[in-house]
Amino acid sequence: MRSFSYSRADSVDQALLGIAANGHGPAGTAAAVRFIAGGTNLLDLMKADVLRPSALVDINPLPLARIEDGPDGGLRLGALVTNADTAYDDRVQARYPLVSRAILAGASPQLRNMASNGGNLLQRTRCYYFYDTATPCNKRTPGSGCAALTGVNRIHAILGASEHCIAVHPSDFCVALAALDAVVQVRGSDGERSIPFADVHRLPGDTPHIDTCLNADEIITAIDLPRQGFARHFTYLKARDRTSYAFALVSAAVGLEIEAGTVRTARVALGGVAHKPWRDPAAEALLVGKPPTAETFAAVADVLLQGARGYGHNDFKIELARRVVVRALRDAAEREPS
Ligand code: SF4
């Protein structure tokens, strides 16, 4: 059994002090002090001996569990609002149905009732080898190798991977947030900062043990959704092995603004294919100023999947992703608000 200290923080300042007092290490290391909210991923990682924090700081008492009006006509999702409360919030369902659909496509009702919005962003990959401490894994133990490269890699990345790691980010919520250009608010010992969603998660490169750009002494306080919610033409399409309680093999979050049969604004983000939600502005630009046609959708998929490669078991994902993109765009273009 591994021992660790446990404390509860009543304010963000107290939580940051708790981190500082316990001597946090760099992000991704096994010995660092950790914040705990829902614990739906952290406790699994501790039970599997993948993470061995010396201290847990319970942040559930912090006043970050509200959904309120955000800057510039948007909506601010508190970091401690549960995924379930976010998905079923009237304002989210009416103005950001893409967010609601993406959340409800993930996990199980029990997990969504516990998981926090901030924690969803920080969950770790579901690569089998990351959770198996008997195998080499650069993300778990930097420099040890990557068992997935030559192992069973059916669920692994086809875009943005490196020779050091081919893991994917598992979140559905994050794919919708990427498509919406959400902004993540964080606070740390050096003050507050706003991080565009595209910059929150990293590609693995030669440091796959670092998942995000957050410093170890920073805490997520909120996620800001911009005014444009694409509530009229949107879809979240998820291809997976089972119809519930399964991570995406490939998913697509699409938001379109269409006026008089012409696309004015387009967003397309892919999940299940890379170490972070995958977007390409060049692909989205192909749609703008044109009618939404099957030919354009196919061209968008070609650009999004430029450079895609498989590692054996996951080769099928390239064609699957192409089909998911085309169908998601078609569904979004045809969708009318219900
Ligand atoms: Fe570890 Fe990444 Fe390789 Fe999986 S893909 S074994 S997480 S290094």
Mutation choice for ligand 1 from 51, 137, 247, CB with most ligand atoms inside 8 A: 137
Query: What average pLDDT does range 7-17 have in this prediction?
Result: 96
pLDDT band, residue 285 (cuts 50/70/90): very high
Checking if the pLDDT of 338 tops 60, the result is no
For ligand 1, say whether the CB of 147 is within 6 Å of any of its atoms. Answer: yes
Ligand 1 centroid–CA 5 distance in Å is 29
CA 207 to chain centre: 19
* Atom 2 (ligand 1) nearest CA: 165
pLDDT band, residue 306 (cuts 50/70/90): very high
Query: What average pLDDT does range 91-117 have in this prediction?
Result: 98
Quick one: pLDDT at residue 329?
98
> Where do the structural domains in the chain lie, given as residue ranges?
233-333
Q: Alpha-carbon distance 112 to 63, whole Å? A: 20
Q: Alpha-carbon distance 71 to 227, whole Å? A: 9
Checking if the pLDDT of 97 tops 60, the result is yes
Query: What average pLDDT does range 99-122 have in this prediction?
Result: 98
Quick one: pLDDT at residue 335?
80
Ligand 1 centroid–CA 214 distance in Å is 20
Mutation choice for ligand 1 from 166, 202, 275, CB with most ligand atoms inside 8 A: 166
pLDDT band, residue 31 (cuts 50/70/90): low
Ligand 1 centroid–CA 338 distance in Å is 42
Checking if the pLDDT of 26 tops 60, the result is no
Checking if the pLDDT of 29 tops 70, the result is no
Three-state secondary structure readout of the chain: CCCCEEEECCCHHHHHHHHHHCCCCCCCCCCCCEEECCCCCHHHHHHCCCCCCCEEEECCCCCCCCEEECHHHCEEEECCCEHHHHHCCHHHHHHCHHHHHHHHCCCCHHHHHHCEHHHHHHCCCCCHHHCCCCCCECCCCCCCCEHHHCCCCCCCCCCCCECCECCCCCCCHHHHHHHCCCEEEEEECCEEEEEEHHHCECCCCCCCCCCECCCCCCEEEEEEECCCCCCCEEEEEEECCCCCCCCCCEEEEEEEEEECCEEEEEEEEEECCCCCCECCHHHHHCCCCCCCCHHHHHHHHHHHCCCCCCCCCCCHHHHHHHHHHHHHHHHHHHCCCC
Q: Alpha-carbon distance 76 to 40, whole Å? A: 23
CB 117 within 8 A of CB 37: no
For ligand 1, say whether the CB of 324 is within 6 Å of any of its atoms. Answer: no
Indicate the class that CATH gives domain 233-333: alpha beta
Per residue in 55-95, pLDDT (tens digit) is 999 999 999 999 999 989 999 999 999 999 999 999 999 99
Ligand 1 centroid–CA 200 distance in Å is 20
pLDDT band, residue 34 (cuts 50/70/90): very high
Ligand 1 centroid–CA 147 distance in Å is 6
For ligand 1, say whether the CB of 146 is within 6 Å of any of its atoms. Answer: yes
Q: Alpha-carbon distance 125 to 147, whole Å? A: 14
pTM exceeds 0.95 for this model? yes
Checking if the pLDDT of 27 tops 80, the result is no
Quick one: pLDDT at residue 141?
97
Per residue in 183-236, pLDDT (tens digit) is 999 999 999 999 999 999 999 999 999 999 999 899 999 999 999 999 999 999
Ligand 1 centroid–CA 136 distance in Å is 8
b/e map 59-93, b = 16+ CB within 10 Å: beebebbebeebeeebbbbbbbbbbbbbbebeebe
The ligand 1 atom at the shortest distance from the C-alpha of residue 164 is: 8
Mutation choice for ligand 1 from 146, 155, 207, 247, CB with most ligand atoms inside 8 A: 146
Checking if the pLDDT of 116 tops 60, the result is yes
Ligand 1 centroid–CA 310 distance in Å is 15
Q: Indicate left, alpha or beta for 295 from its phi (over 0: left) and psi (-120 to 50: alpha).
A: alpha
Query: What average pLDDT does range 251-261 have in this prediction?
Result: 98
Quick one: pLDDT at residue 1?
84
For ligand 1, say whether the CB of 95 is within 6 Å of any of its atoms. Answer: no
Checking if the pLDDT of 25 tops 60, the result is no
Q: Indicate left, alpha or beta for 111 from its phi (over 0: left) and psi (-120 to 50: alpha).
A: alpha
Beta-sheet pairing, 219-225 with 75-78: antiparallel
- The proportion of the chain whose per-residue pLDDT surpasses 90, expressed as a percent, equals 93
